[in-house]
Structure 1
Amino acid sequence: MFHKEGGKIILIATFLSVLGVFVADYFLSENFPIIFKIVGALILVFLVLILQFFRNPTRIADNSDNHILAPVDGKVVVIEEVYESEYFKDKRLMVSIFMSPINVHVTRYCVNGIVKYSKYHPGKYLVAWHPKASEENERTTVVIENRVYGEILYRQIAGALARRIVNYAQEGMRVVQGKDAGFIKFGSRVDIYLPIGTPINVKLGDKAIGNKTIISKKINE
């Protein structure tokens, strides 16, 4: 299953791949068979990479207000207290998940609740792990008010390859944990800002799986 945001790109990539094979066959297959095979293999790899980037695996979330699920697939690269300057304007506990081009890039709502804030910011395209990427890169900031955790902020951040962030969250919406929240095209990261003292169930270097990995869990709230 592929994400709807990839429809146009997949069609273009498929057309270019088929065209490339026909052109290579016309000019190379008879006189340069080895080169033709190499070109054909490269075209196939290109198409497979595009298809796998926009894949959208079906994952049923274990819906609960008592835990926060990973919004994306990727690697946990930051767990630290930071000053959040856009919305809270105070210190928060940030968990950052970096997505490589081979990860699933669907963004899913990490909690149930009401969208209190949703804003898009144009910006630069620094590498996603750059310290200033969360403040200077193209990004969207979304705040969801959850019954147990209070206000949770997540930020989609474009990377050096990403050129478009898609965000479905609108202020006033009631959102459901695990449902589709958007998409980031070609390499990026997502930061989650939690209240100080929030219990964290992951550690640096962990592989997060969207809708499956529990970032935080509270008992008997």
Structure 2
Amino acid sequence: MLETIPELISEAVRKDLVEAIQNLDFEDGRKTAGKRAARVKKNEQLGSVDREAKADIQNKVIKSLKSNGRFQRFAMPNKVATPLISRYRPGMEYGLHVDNATMVDSTLRTDLSVTLFLNEPDQYEGGELEIFSGYGPVKIKLPAGSVVVYPSSTLHRVLPVTKGERLAAVTWVESQIRDLARREILYDFGLARSKLEKDAPNSEETDRANRAYTNLLRMWTGT
């Protein structure tokens, strides 16, 4: 199951991020790839020359994720990794790979992968994120400021950029609910519960739905 979230960051914040990014140095993206992924990774990532400016960009991305209700309901994050800011220019791509099982010196389990598109799709050709699931490959190229969240266990790739420049922020989530199927049930149940709370806040059915959701969350948290 994957989720796309439009306009996760405001246009003003996005423009500020892109402007700040353009003034900073990039380095070989293979520095942050696992041994196998490094064989197929051909992109650039924000370097470490200006640590303060880089940290400000990363913090703004994390703040936007944490303040978005839809992201919180879908991902149910326990931890969010520090984002990587990636750049793809003509000829660059990220071949087929699966993300590492853990990040941040093995302190964060990667349940979900997150890509935040930072520039408009008409500013580059190619560069689609292609995710392979049990239903076949899905190509994703979203408007600037939008996010896609998908299981880190899936094979995926970034197709070659043939023209222009692709900018994106990428991060990973350790969810409170480790099991994908349980997380999907809670997401659907949570949407239904929210509708009941809106339409019939004082009904017995709403109380029962809230109790069931809370008890499932209590039962499944950490599993």
Q: So what's the TM-score if we normalise by structure 1?
A: 0.28
Question: Which has more helix, going by share of residues?
Answer: 2
Q: What TM-score results when the alignment is normalised by the length of structure 2?
A: 0.28
